[in-house]
Structure 1
Amino acid sequence: MIGNLQCVVLDCPAPLELAQFYQSLLGGTVNQPDPRWSLDDDWATLHTGSGLVLAFQRVDDYRPPQWPDPARPQQFHLDIGVEDLDRAQRQVLALGATLLDAGDGTRGWRVYADPVGHPFCLVRDLTGPADAVT
């Protein structure tokens, strides 16, 4: 082993605003003091209750992914387990997400974009309730 994953970093035009979007979706603490990162206008973090850390880095000429266009690929995505897809969809849309693919109604997941275009999926969580969507 060479190292441990510390966080997932997302490029974006406005780090604090995107951190707050994901905080509303996942819970946790925005810009929690942490000696691993220096927080400023170009960098924000979200420490989630599960221990996962997301970081948000300002990119001046940010170009969002265009799902599913391979010329501007998604670069990464998050799968977020939810108890009720319909309720979770209403909540993420109210936060500023965009529905990209609702599927045909028979599968257990849907694709969205966060406010700056990063794709993420809401996935029916069959293991139990998810605190993030209650």
Structure 2
Amino acid sequence: MAVAELGVVVLDCPDPRALAGFYAGVLGGTIDTEFEDSGWITLKLPGGQALAFQAAPGFVPPRWPSPDHSQQFHLDLDVRDLDAAEKAVLELGARPLDTEDRARSFRVYADPAGHPFCLCAG
């Protein structure tokens, strides 16, 4: 029997509204600013899932790849067309981290706050 169920994944960042906007552009959904005054914005995704974004003064993004620093975690986002999805996330403000091997089934990017994420052929 499980002790808990996952409520929401929260990304610390310097600008919750901007990062919620980026992920709304990537994943769709509705931005909920009910708690924006406390530094918290939730992105309600299609299908009932959610991502939240929390203001973190002094935020330092993970360094990837780095043998000295762990990336902590990353999001794997399934896409139908890697090339089209890559073009879209770059237009939204992502930057490539590891996209050189075009034969692989995934490519690695950083969101505008520096969190790594992968686009995965699904």
What is the TM-score when the length of structure 1 is the normalising length?
0.84
Question: Any conservation in 2 of the 1:85–1:123 contact (CA below 8 Å)?
Answer: yes
Residue 51 of structure 1: aligned partner:
48
Root-mean-square deviation (CA, aligned residues, Å) is 1.5
Residue 11 (str. 1) matches residue 12 (str. 2): yes
- Please give the secondary structure, in 1, of the residue aligned with 2:47: coil
Hey, what's the Cα distance between the residues in 1 that align with 2:58 and 2:19?
16
Moved more, 89-98 or 50-59: 50-59
Q: Deviations over 1:60-114 (max 9, x none)?
A: 0000011011433222111111111111111000000001001422111100000
Moved more, 64-73 or 98-107: 64-73
Structure 1 runs of 4+ off > 4 angstroms?
A: none
Structure 1: runs of 5+ lacking an equivalent: 126-134
- Please give the secondary structure, in 1, of the residue aligned with 2:61: coil
Residue 75 of structure 2: aligned partner:
78
Residue 26 of structure 2: aligned partner:
25
% identical equivalent positions: 51
Structure 2: runs of 5+ lacking an equivalent: none
Residue 93 of structure 1: aligned partner:
90
Residue 63 of structure 2: aligned partner:
66
- Please give the secondary structure, in 2, of the residue aligned with 1:73: coil
Hey, what's the Cα distance between the residues in 2 that align with 1:2 and 1:70?
34
